[in-house]
Amino acid sequence: MKRIYIVRHGQTYINRYNKMQGWCDTPLTTPGIEGAEEAGKALSEVPFDIALSSDLKRASDTCEIIMKYNANKDELQHIASPFFREQFYGYFEGIDSEMAWRMIGGSHGYGTRQEMFAHESIDTIKDWIKEADPYHQAENAEEYWARLDDGFKLISQLDGAENILLVTHGFTIRSLWYRYGDHIPLVPGPKNASITIMTMSEKGEIKIPKWNLMHL
């Protein structure tokens, strides 16, 4: 049985200014660094066998901070991979979040993301993002899950790794909640530096028993 400790990266400047942040990247704020340190302390006694993260700097930096506090810090290897990147929002990257979600959901009768997340599947929302993107370069559900599934195939092949750190992103964690959680509400979403615990059996069965924790 693998236990995967999924952490959302610490707060960034774009998070602070409430803008869409998928593949675009900004540095951690001072509270973001402090949040990563708190997550590191909360997970310090979990003897990680490997540390994985998105290759975006905000996730990679958060992972490195968490690793410094870990019981296995001297042996721990960090692999940063594009498999674990955030959803790609295409045209909507960097614009005001509430404005973007109105543009995405408005034609379907939703004025806010909270309403949309409460009533629609995460995969429908992904498809609507690509549909609303004038360039149609944002990821839809099929494209997104093909990438994430490659990441989880990688995890399943990590022989001998029982405790795994994975630092990724807010909408990605929401997506995992939706696919593998037992009716986990999508609003509110995961907080910066929060911890979600996922288990993966030898047969590949995935469950999420705990989510949005700030402490174990």
Q: What is the pLDDT of residues 111-139, one digit of tens each?
A: 999 999 999 999 999 999 999 999 999 99
DSSP 3-state assignment of 15? helix
pTM over 0.95: yes
Pairing of strands 206-213, 195-200: antiparallel
Cα-to-chain-centroid distance, residue 43: 17
CA within 13 Å, CB half, 48: 29
| pLDDT of 197 | 98
Residue 188, preceding peptide bond in cis (omega within 30° of 0): yes
| pLDDT of 1 | 94
| pLDDT of 109 | 97
Q: Which residues of the chain have pLDDT under 70?
A: none
- Do 66 and 180 meet the contact criterion of CB atoms below 8 Å apart? no
- As a whole number of angstroms, the distance between CA 8 and CA 191 comes to 7
- As a whole number of angstroms, the distance between CA 132 and CA 91 comes to 9
- The sign one gets for the Cα dihedral 13, 55, 7, 33 is negative
Task: Enumerate the H helices of the chain as residue ranges.
Answer: 13-16, 30-42, 57-68, 97-105, 113-119, 122-132, 141-156, 170-180
| pLDDT of 94 | 98
Q: What is the pLDDT of residues 78-113, one digit of tens each?
A: 999 999 999 999 999 999 999 999 999 999 999 999
Q: What is the dihedral of CA 86, 177, 180, 163, to 10 degrees?
A: 70
| pLDDT of 204 | 85
CA angle 16, 210, 98 (to 5 degrees): 30
Query: Identity (one letter) of the amino acid at 167?
Result: V
Report, in angstroms and rounded to the nearest whole number, the Rg of the chain calculated over CA atoms: 17
Q: 36-45: buried (b, 16+ CB within 10 Å) or exposed (e) per residue?
A: bbbbbebbbe
Crossing angle for the helix pair 30-42 and 57-68, nearest 10 degrees? 50
